[in-house]
Structure 1
Amino acid sequence: MKAIAVRDGETTPVVVDKPIPEPQAGEALVRTLRVGVDGTDHEVMSGGHGGFPEGEDHLVLGHEAVGVVEDPNGTDLREGEVVVPTVRRPPNGTNDYFERGEADMAPAGEYHERGIVGAHGFMAEYFTSPAEDLVRIPPSQAEIGFLVEPVSITEKAIELAEASRSTFTWDPESAMVLGNGSLGLLTLAMLDEDEDYERLYCLGRRDRPDPTVDIIEELGATYVDSRKTPVDEVPDVHEAIDFIYEATGFPKHVFQSVHALAPNGVAALLGVPSSWEFEVDGGSFHEEMVLHNKAMVGSVNSNVRHFEAASRTLTTLPEWFLDDLVTGVYGLDEFERAFEDGDTIIKTAVQFSEYEER
């Protein structure tokens, strides 16, 4: 079968030949439909994040996948069901996090992530997975199912943010997404469907005309250009924000966000930064957190219930939004285009096969 991988010492994805994997006991064989490409894939290819499977000279990419069960192999799945795989797997047998169904809370070293660190991904014509790590989705989502994984990331982040405010009456009215990439736009659309939020903002660094700015404004949100209005100046120009979702990986945004939050506000941090030392006013940061009951939560990965929630959420997002978000789906003969960057590119995917309802 064909797979898309990055080789050790290289930074450009290539097509490789691999045998069709054979499912072990408790696993199913899945025929891949589509696999999304995101910033993490680019970080893995550049060597800035992730790692190769032990003893391997390449890593099959891809962690945002949707496929069809080809061989249930004695599991409770049925041939032809549309499924989305979760990402994390135990590195050696199992551990307490996986046994509790909390793989997303395992610390580094206690997990492998398919297509990212320690395990081959899903960017291949077929893949195998334990049945409990395959989430059934409706056939109507066969074409957009690769968005379930990124939406699940936001489902978890919002859950953690709300949990941090659960000890008192919290009535958020405003939210701001930092980052106008595909994850930021998906999150903005999700917040737009949430009746709690009356005013939405999205921060980026794009000049008009720009397709992401068009989407932001079509969703009824306000575009904030960080070159003109830094995060910590948002309250002066617009308003203090109840909920901030950080999806940039820009370290200064973490420290600026505390000054942009309204009293009792919370920020969810999802960006993965590279090392960077700079000066901050630690006293001011500390004071804002304490005297105004603010909170910050870090969030990474997600578990089965977040994937299930993400599938439900996808049914609520406007069709026009999904059409504008996905700017390209490419077959194996032109897969390189799915990895291109550009001002008109938002979300791309590689297609391995067509869905045929049975």
Structure 2
Amino acid sequence: MNAIAIKAGRSSPEVIDVDVPDPDDGEALVRTLRVGIDGTDFEVLEGNHGGFPDGEDYQILGHEAVGVVDDPNGTDLEEGQLVVPTVRRPPDGSNDYFERGEPDMAPPDACLERGIDGAHGFMSEYFTSPAEYLIPVPTAFAETGVLVEPMSNTAKALEHAFASRSMFDWEPDTVLVLGNGPLGLLTLAMLDSTVDRSYCLGRRDRPDPTIDVIEELDATYVDSRETPVSEFAGVHEPADLVFEATGYAKHAYETVDALAPNGVGVLLGLPGDWTFDIDGGRLHRELVLENKALLGSVNSHVRHFESATESLERLPDWFLERIITDTYAPSEVDDAFTDDDDRIKTVVEFDTL
């Protein structure tokens, strides 16, 4: 079967021929429909994140997938059922995090991540997975189901944000999303009906498709070249919730300035090493005196995928039609992995229903 992989010593993906996998006991065989491409895939290609499976000189890419159960193999799944796979798997059997049903809380050395770190991904004609990590989704998600995985990360981040404020009545009226990539736009759309005012920060000039989507959602586009995060509150208003999806290290600290009293900043981006000066004492006082909070969030698990599925069903059709901008066949791998500001979400399509 065809698969898209990165080989050792290379920085560009290519189509390779591998055997169709045989499902083990408790696993199902899934026929892949679509796999999304995101920033983490490029980090893997550049060697900045993740690692190959043990003993392998290549890694099959892809962690955002939707597929059809081809062989249930004795599991509770049904042939023809549409599913989305979760990403994390236990290394060498299991551990406390997986036994507690909390793989998303495991540190990197206590988990494998399909298509990212230590395990092959889903960017192939077929893949296998334990049934417990396959989330059934509506048949209508055959084209959009690749959005469930990134949305599940937002679902988890929001769950943690609200949990951190659970000791008092916290209902955010304003949200600032840092980053106008696919995850930022999906987060903005998910929050659209729950907040009064929303803002999305980016670094793009008009005309731009992401700015069009932001404004169609009745949010305000903030150009960080004109209004840095540290000046956002003075130019616009303090935000009850700041959702960081840029991986720009300074934003983690500038978020404190952007927050309203009792506000929460959730960090999802993964920056590289960068040393710079900050006024740590001032930021510390802000956090303490104004009851602000910063928290990090990575990955997600079954309940977050289920929550994301419900959220995806509520998103407007126009948004879904415009968020997935480019679809490529596996043979067009070079085009699929070309970085282009006119694209929002790119997917590789292996098959259709």
Q: What TM-score bracket applies, with the shorter chain setting the length?
A: over 0.9
* Partner residue in 2 for 1:220: 218
- Cα pair 2:14 2:333 within 8 Å, conserved: no
* Partner residue in 1 for 2:288: 290
**Structure 1 residue 170: deviation in Å?**
1.1
**Structure 1 residue 172: deviation in Å?**
1.3
Summarize deviations over 1:290-326 as a string: whole Å, max 9, x none.
0000001100000001001111100111111111111
**Structure 1 residue 142: deviation in Å?**
1.1
Summarize deviations over 1:239-261 as a string: whole Å, max 9, x none.
01100000000000011000110
Summarize deviations over 1:122-151 as a string: whole Å, max 9, x none.
000000000000000010111110110000
* Partner residue in 1 for 2:342: 344
* Partner residue in 2 for 1:114: 114
Could you tell me which runs of 5 or more consecutive residues in structure 1 were left unpaired when the two chains were aligned: none
Write the letter of the residue equivalent to 2:170.
W
**Structure 1 residue 169: deviation in Å?**
1.2
Write the letter of the residue equivalent to 2:199.
Y
- Structure 2 CA distance for aligned equivalents of residues 8 and 148 of structure 1: 30
Supply the RMSD in Å over aligned alpha carbons.
Answer: 0.6
- Structure 2 CA distance for aligned equivalents of residues 141 and 147 of structure 1: 9
Query: How many percent identity over aligned positions?
Result: 63
Aligned positions of 1:7-156 closer than 5 A? 7-156=7-156
**Structure 1 residue 171: deviation in Å?**
2.3
- Structure 2 CA distance for aligned equivalents of residues 86 and 255 of structure 1: 31
User: SS where residue 273 of structure 1 aligns?
Assistant: coil
- Cα pair 1:3 1:16 within 8 Å, conserved: yes
Summarize deviations over 1:215-241 as a string: whole Å, max 9, x none.
101100000000110001011100011
* Partner residue in 2 for 1:299: 297
* Partner residue in 2 for 1:259: 257
Write the letter of the residue equivalent to 1:120.
H
- Structure 2 CA distance for aligned equivalents of residues 48 and 333 of structure 1: 26
Normalization by structure 2: what TM-score? 0.99
- Cα pair 2:142 2:352 within 8 Å, conserved: no
- Structure 1 CA distance for aligned equivalents of residues 145 and 206 of structure 2: 31
Q: Does 1:158 align with 2:163?
A: no
**Structure 1 residue 14: deviation in Å?**
0.2
Q: Does 1:353 align with 2:351?
A: yes
**Structure 1 residue 340: deviation in Å?**
1.4
Q: Does 1:199 align with 2:170?
A: no
- Structure 1 CA distance for aligned equivalents of residues 175 and 269 of structure 2: 17
- Structure 1 CA distance for aligned equivalents of residues 171 and 153 of structure 2: 23
- Structure 1 CA distance for aligned equivalents of residues 82 and 204 of structure 2: 37
- Cα pair 1:193 1:316 within 8 Å, conserved: no
- Structure 2 CA distance for aligned equivalents of residues 343 and 299 of structure 1: 26
User: SS where residue 150 of structure 1 aligns?
Assistant: helix
**Structure 1 residue 55: deviation in Å?**
0.8
Deviating above 6 A after TM superposition, structure 1's stretches of 4 or more consecutive aligned residues are: none
- Structure 1 CA distance for aligned equivalents of residues 262 and 37 of structure 2: 36
Could you tell me which runs of 5 or more consecutive residues in structure 2 were left unpaired when the two chains were aligned: none
* Partner residue in 2 for 1:234: 232
- Structure 2 CA distance for aligned equivalents of residues 75 and 108 of structure 1: 29
Write the letter of the residue equivalent to 1:280.
I
- Structure 1 CA distance for aligned equivalents of residues 171 and 27 of structure 2: 44
**Structure 1 residue 332: deviation in Å?**
1.8
- Paired residues in the alignment total 353
Write the letter of the residue equivalent to 2:41.
D
* Partner residue in 1 for 2:5: 5
